[in-house]
Chain A
Amino acid sequence: NAGVTQTPKFQVLKTGQSMTLQCAQDMNHNSMYWYRQDPGMGLRLIYYSASEGTTDKGEVPNGYNVSRLNKREFSLRLESAAPSQTSVYFCASSPARVKAFFGQGTRLTVV
């Protein structure tokens, strides 16, 4: 049982480049989330999806887009990366009213 799988694990981008972070879960959860974690800031919600076909902005959505392709997959896209987007990104999924399960994270550096 793989749980929540994120790819890639590491990525270095130049300012202005675009990329998509992939996330897939095999637990049949309805809700999926993208967080970023910065030192001293804790986890901050970027976007979430309560069910297939729906997405909503979280606390820090600017500079990001998401796509809930199907129930399993929730991708996060940076259209034009900026150094301020250097962070560790976590994808998570959750069935209703139960704890969230996290992926292992993607360490993104924008130079």
Chain B
Amino acid sequence: EDKVVQSPLSLVVHEGDTVTLNCSYEVTNFRSLLWYKQEKKAPTFLFMLTSSGIEKKSGRLSSILDKKELFSILNITATQTGDSAVYLCAVEATGNQFYFGTGTSLTVIP
């Protein structure tokens, strides 16, 4: 059965801390792995990863994929209260299907 597992389920940190969110997957016919940030409404896209070992960066956020060990991490440095959200990991498989993890709920305390 195809599945995507995220950890931790929730995390509370102080502003300025660095956090690492994990996503492991078992999905046949893997095509890409995506990270989304969800605040109150629809998820917004962060990164799409297709190749192992190539880090994607956007400001204080970065992500990397390991296709051999079947996982990805999302790093957020110097966290701010605006980073508080649920972070979703999804894997795209052949046939344009997406499998989502349950998300990691991040709370950043001032």
Q: How far is the CA of A47 from the CA of B102 in the complex (A)?
A: 18
Binds A, one of B12-20, B40-48, B52-60, B66-74: B40-48
Known: A90-B42, A102-B42, A103-B42. A96 touches B96 (CB 8 A): yes
Known: A97-B31, A99-B48, A102-B42. A41 touches B102 (CB 8 A): yes
| Residue of A43, A48, A101, A102 contacting most chain B CB atoms (<10 Å) | A43
The B78-96 residues at the A interface (CB cut-off 8 A) are 88, 90, 92, 95-96
**Chain B binding surface SS class:** strand
Interface string of A65-109 (1 = CB under 8 A from B): 000000000000000000000000010101011111111110000
Contacts of A92 in B (CB 8 A): 98
Contacts of B42 in A (CB 8 A): 90, 102-105
Contacts of A53 in B (CB 8 A): none
Q: How far is the CA of A28 from the CA of B88 in the complex (A)?
A: 25
Report whether A102 and B92 are in contact in the complex, using a CB–CB cutoff of 8 Å. Answer: no
Judge whether B7 is part of the interface by a CB distance below 8 angstroms.
no
Known: A90-B42, A102-B43. A50 touches B96 (CB 8 A): yes
Report whether A42 and B103 are in contact in the complex, using a CB–CB cutoff of 8 Å. Answer: yes
- Taking the closest CB of chain A, its distance from the CB of B93, in whole angstroms, is 11
Residues of A within 8 A of B (CB): 30-31, 33, 35, 40-45, 48, 50, 58, 90, 92, 94, 96-105
Residues of B within 8 A of A (CB): 6, 9, 31-32, 34, 41-45, 48, 88, 90, 92, 95-103
- Known pairs A40-B102, A100-B45 / 12 extra A-B pairs, C-beta < 8 Å: A31-B96, A41-B102, A43-B100, A50-B96, A90-B43, A94-B96, A94-B98, A99-B45, A100-B34, A102-B43, A103-B42, A105-B42
